[in-house]
Structure 1
Amino acid sequence: MSDVKIVAASIVNFLKKQLESDTLSVDSRESVEVGIQCIETAFELGPEDVTKGLDLEQLVRQQRGRTEQTPDCAEAEKLKNEGNELMKAERHREALEKYTRAIELVPTNAVYFCNRAAAHFKLGEHEAAIADCTAALALQPDYGKAHGRLGLALTALDRHREARAAYARAVQLEPDNESYKQNLRLTDERLAQHGEPGPLDLGGLLHNPALLNMATEMLADPNMQNLISGLMSNTSANTGNGAGAGGMSALLEAGQALAQHMQAANPDLVEQLRRQIRPPGPGGNNAPQ
């Protein structure tokens, strides 16, 4: 689709939004409708072409915002870049001062807070780093780097469970970042060494091919189908009066049958699930060194 058609489609989209509002008089609405038809005909726009138009109002707001942000934003960006160079030179205190001045000029930029958090971390000021990461995330909740740096500061203070949550969010936002994934794995190991089970990764379980294949095979097994059907019938019969002894017995029977089927079909997968739900305690290969 050519640039000219995109512009025309954008105008048509804008005009259609005006028709949806209550701001136009009857005569004005008729004029707008005629204008839409003329533009669509002149530029040979079909329904699919119109959907590719841009949001003109949003573009105007963005342009106006960029115009209104100078000159403080330009100075703040200059200070940030100077701070970045100082960080490379390991002049962390000077870098922190640059980031602080940038924040004073533009306190709504999450990057400045996140960069200052890195300076605080290098200086061993971990509580201050946490505060800056928190401020950055208040401005930009989906800022992966801020979550990652928050995890580092929390780890430095041995707040590993909080750090794990920060790393997990960073990995979710940037799944290709190996550093975040490595930090998450190390944090899980630390939690396991202290006998603290990490959160159950339901997303990972649901996307585990071996587990999905096993579930498909189990559902195709006539014996398992009969068991599930009987369980559902028993549960329905006890609705309103609690599951009762019969319902509880059926639940236990179903659980035992599922466990036996899984153990027989794929013992390695069962052991993997056990480790995830209940990580090894002290002793063995996972004991603290």
Structure 2
Amino acid sequence: MAVKGLVAAIVQFLTQQLEDGDITADSRESLEVAIQCLESAYNVQASDAPPDFDLQDTYKSFVNYNKPAHIQPATAEAKAEAERLKNEGNMLVKADKYQEALNNYTKAIQLDGHNAVYYCNRAAVYTKMGNHQQAIKDCHSALAIDPTYSKAYGRLGLAYTSLQKYKDAKECYQKALEMEPDNESYKYNMTLMEEKLTQQGVCNMVLSGNTTSEGLPEMDLTSLLSNPTLMNMARQMLSDPAMQSMMTNLMSGNVDQGRRMDALIEAGQQLAQQMHNANPDLIESLRRQMGGNPNDPDPSQQN
């Protein structure tokens, strides 16, 4: 019933957009099709929406739920003291005194709760302390104050990375790069997340049993071939004279079946060893059948 009520509320909202919204003829046609599809799929009508339920108001409440509760702006004296506490907190972070730094940032927020920097800096400390969920909450608070704060997106990406939520992390780094296109740290972390997602995809295919008739996992070759780390490893391995000689023997018709199998096994062992030497993190991740638990550096320093 809850799902049908929600769908009915969506239908109701879209119907109101048809009546009140300033939309083009093409958009109107698309909305009409969407409404018909929802009504047919869930067997609902706009009139089935829960009474006194406004979908748009609910959405606004959700978007704003992380905004600080402080209403009154801070006085000049409070802002000055908050800034002093923040600066002191930065020094404490450099001295690895994370709990003391956390206390300073919290006091700064209490004095001036509309400063996004204080939330972002506290998020960085929460990440260093391993409290990634709280770091995510503080990053969202910072972005609610300043949606263009690239550093908050970067630290949000770091928190998601620590929780192995690589897709969410990648989206955060993409946002950060939109605001700072030349930031090398964000570029590096974006590439790293793409690699993690590739590794995770391979592991998921193995776990799901999604393999070919030969027992090998079905892989998205396009994604693999576009992965810079994997391609670099392949180039390094193929440039090795020993590997070249072994591949020549494998493809040679002069080698009997038994010797070819031995050569294939040896090639596989050497391939695994060279992959491990080139990227031990990749091998360990595959061995664990899930992506690694990275301890990536913070993409930026304290403000």
- TM class, shorter-length: 0.3 to 0.5
Q: Which has the larger radius of gyration?
A: 1
| TM-score after normalising by structure 2 | 0.44
| TM-score after normalising by structure 1 | 0.46
Higher relative contact order (CA 8 A, sep 6+): 2
Greater helix fraction, Structure 1 or Structure 2: 1
